[in-house]
Amino acid sequence: MISIDVTLLMHIVNMIVLMFVLNAILYKPVLGILEKRAQKIESLNGEVAQFEQNAQQRQAELDQKMREASTKAKKALDGARAQAQAAGAEKLAAIRTESDAMKGKQLADLRSQIDGVRKELEGNAAGFAQAMAGKILGRSLDA
């Protein structure tokens, strides 16, 4: 049977003190770390979006330059002889090859940067989760 006496009040006070201590020592720091991690992920996602936007903008500029180069080449080819037409086509092919190579290199660099950041975040998240679980449980989780 439950008896209401001083020990019940001491238990209630003890639980309230424990709640405040755990909140100050454990919950707030963990929530702060999780918030910082979420902000970092959001920042990295913003950077990835910026990189993608820059890539699209560069692609649009490249397309515009290609259209301008194509228009100039067409006007030059219409007025020239067959030899001039062949030289213009070779030059246009070289420009396309160079621009495709440059585009491919830039896209590969962006993808490798995105993959590197993603792997770094995944690696950090697993280590952090294991460390926090070990701290919360008070024992090592290596087994």
Domain-located, residue 119: yes
Domain-located, residue 60: yes
pLDDT of residue 132: 83
pLDDT of residue 1: 60
pLDDT of residue 143: 54
User: What CA–CA distance (Å, rounded) separates 64 from 67?
Assistant: 5
The answer to whether 85 touches 79, Cβ cutoff 8 Å, is no
Residues present in the chain in total: 143
**Confidence band (pLDDT; 50, 70, 90) for 108?**
very high
Question: Which of 16, 30, 20 is CA-nearest to residue 134?
Answer: 30
Mean pLDDT over 75-92 rounds to 79
**pTM, to two decimals:** 0.35
Tens digit of each residue's pLDDT (9 = 90 or more) over 40-67 = 999 999 999 999 999 999 999 999 999 9
Domain-located, residue 42: yes
Domain-located, residue 29: yes
Rounded (10°) angle between helices 82-137 and 28-79 = 180
Domain-located, residue 1: no
Domain-located, residue 141: no
Both tokens of 72, joined, read 């100039």
Both tokens of 142, joined, read 């290596």
pLDDT of residue 67: 92
CB-side neighbour CA atoms (13 Å) of 87 = 6
Residue 3 DSSP SS3: coil
CB-side neighbour CA atoms (13 Å) of 101 = 6
**79 lies in which domain range?**
6-135
pLDDT of residue 121: 82
Q: How many CB atoms lie within 10 A of CB 103?
A: 14
Number of domains comprising the chain: 1
Domain-located, residue 68: yes
Domain-located, residue 21: yes
User: What CA–CA distance (Å, rounded) separates 11 from 4?
Assistant: 11
